[in-house]
Amino acid sequence: MSSIKRVAIVGGTHGNEFSGIYLLKKWQQQPQSISRPSFCSEMVFANPKAHQENKRYLDHDLNRQFGLADLNNPDLTSYEQCRAKAMNQQLGPKGNAQTDFIIDLHNTTSNMGPSLILLQSDEFNRKMGAYIKCKMPETVVEFEDYSSVDEHHFVSSIAKQGVIIEVGPQPQSVIRQDILDWMEALTQHVLDYVHLSNINALPELPETYEAFQYSETLTLPVNEKGERIGMVHKDVQDADFKPIYNGSAIFTLFNGEIITWDGDYEAYPHFINEAAYYDNNLAMSLARKITVKTSDE
């Protein structure tokens, strides 16, 4: 892979996820902290109007607006759809981007700790996961490589390479120091990795490491009218990346009935009971635990 020359750090993709926004403010005062000798860095405040109104978004979720067809559709003119087009001009254009690498900073209300979400499973990303696990072992590495980067709708898919940093639990519109510190440390390690990869100076990495791979999403129980009739089971709540099995309790209906998982693999829930996903009745994502081979060699 050719070296990375231009890196963008994006915060405030969702206006009520405060850690990334306040880290951008900090780094604007200390730009040297995100610079490295082998590449230039820029910062992008993605959704300032949503932040001003203390909302996740005004019209549409900005982090779902970066599909190629949507970016090229002049009829999509909501605030977030226009922001996506402007960011694509600034950082892209997607498919031939002037930005080589994007770090998109997010908070979650779920108990996911520091999590690094990788959109590709090529050697560059696999080595990044190994490096991060060595430097910050508490980080969870998850691969969401179920489609090509061009097919993803995320901010970080504008560039050929990009990652999502998710850190929680943090309530919406709140700043927690432990969460902000985790996000800052993880971002710094990712920047270090990119620089060391550029100059061929990576330390010795383990041959394999444990990670997760997204598999599916579960929705909250609803009736025929689409009204919620249950909630996440208390044994699953806050147990992100802890295994469930066929027959494990996952939902409790308001009438007291327990709903169990009907699955044929050991699954690892995450984004459990994420507040932002209630508008779509999403209860949790599931992943499989995988062993990642670090290098192609």
Task: Provide the percentage of residues in the chain whose pLDDT is more than 90.
Answer: 96
Check whether residue 274 and residue 197 sit in a common domain. Answer: no
Q: What average pLDDT does this structure show over 154-164?
A: 97
Do 219 and 259 lie in a common domain?
yes
Q: What single-letter amino acid sits at 114?
A: P
Whether the Cβ atoms of residue 172 and residue 276 lie closer than 8 Å to each other: yes
- Examine the domain organization and report whether 108 and 233 are in the same domain: no
Instruction: Establish whether 195 is an annotated binding residue.
Output: no
Domain count, the chain: 2
Predicted local confidence at residue 2, as pLDDT = 81
Any idea what the CATH number is for the domain that residue 189 is in?
Answer: 3.40.630.10
Query: Do 90 and 226 have their domain in common?
Result: no
CA 218 to chain CA centroid, nearest Å: 18
| pLDDT higher than threshold 80 for residue 119 | yes
* Separation between Cα atoms, residue 49 and residue 57, nearest integer Å: 8
Q: What is the mean pLDDT of residues 126-132?
A: 99
pLDDT tens column, 205-222: 999 999 999 999 999 999
Segment (H or E) for 141: strand 140-143
Q: What is the distance between the alpha carbons of residues 155 and 106, in angstroms, rounded to a whole number? A: 11
What average pLDDT does the structure give for the chain? 97
Q: Looking at the predicted structure, is the pLDDT value of residue 167 above 90?
A: yes
Q: Is 144 annotated as a binding residue?
A: no
pLDDT recorded at residue 177 = 99
Cβ proximity of 251 and 220 under 8 Å = yes
Q: Does pLDDT of 48 surpass 90?
A: yes
Q: Domain containing 242 — which CATH number? A: 2.20.25.160
Confidence at residue 148, expressed as pLDDT on a 0 to 100 scale = 79
User: Interhelix angle for 123-135 vs 177-198, to 10°?
Assistant: 130
Residue 176 lies in a domain: yes
Q: Which domain does 227 fall in, by range?
A: 214-293
Is residue 166 annotated as part of the catalytic site, yes or no? yes
- Was 189 annotated as part of a binding site? no
pTM over 0.75: yes
Please indicate, yes or no, whether residues 284 and 160 belong to a single structural domain of this protein.
no
Whether 1 has a pLDDT exceeding 80, the answer reads no
- Position 77 confidence tier, pLDDT thresholds 50, 70, 90: very high
- Residue 146 has what pLDDT? 83
Q: Return d(Cα 67, Cα 78) in angstroms, integer.
A: 15
Q: How far apart are CA 28 and CA 87, in angstroms?
A: 19
Note if the bond before 93 is cis, omega within 30 degrees. Answer: yes
Band (20; pLDDT cuts 50, 70, 90)? very high
Among 97, 292, 116, which residue's Cα sits nearest to residue 193?
A: 116
pLDDT average, residue stretch 189-197: 99
Residues 260 and 175 in one domain: no
Q: Between the CA atoms of 280, 67, 130 and 46, what dihedral angle is there, to the nearest 10 degrees? A: -80
Catalytically annotated residue among 80, 142, 166, 274: 166
- Tell me what the mean pLDDT of segment 65-91 comes to: 97
